[in-house]
Amino acid sequence: MKAYLSLGNNLGNREEMLDKAVSLVGEKAGRVLKRSSFYYSEPWGFRSKNSFVNIVILIDTHLSPTELLHATQEIEFTLGRRKKSNNGVYEDRLIDIDILTYEDMQIQTEELTLPHPLMLERDFVMIPLKEIQEK
């Protein structure tokens, strides 16, 4: 099954962290088929002096959507992320991995919504996504 993932961060050696995250996705979630260029952007949804680096990857996975979510959360934890937000407010992060799409599935559970509900509003997602869709 094919899934697009968005990865980003704004702390530490951002590009190196994304490289590590992609490697771990390949080990734990599925084979990485395509990877976008780095996309640099200002924080979205909160203020910070730290800019973001984002990429989008396409993977081939045997995991179900929920299993993929859990695998990406485990990767985030492995790389040092301890919480998704602070009382629902975005903040600086070492790594963030979002599932954008999983095949053409539409899912809405308490834990997971696919396609990602905010992806169309985010240039840092859509520009890298279009880049690898055109490759």
Catalytically active residues, by annotation: 81, 93, 96, 98
Angle at 85 (CA atoms; ends 95, 104), nearest 5 degrees: 70
Helix (H) or strand (E) holding 65: helix 65-78
CA distance linking residue 130 with residue 134, whole number of Å: 6
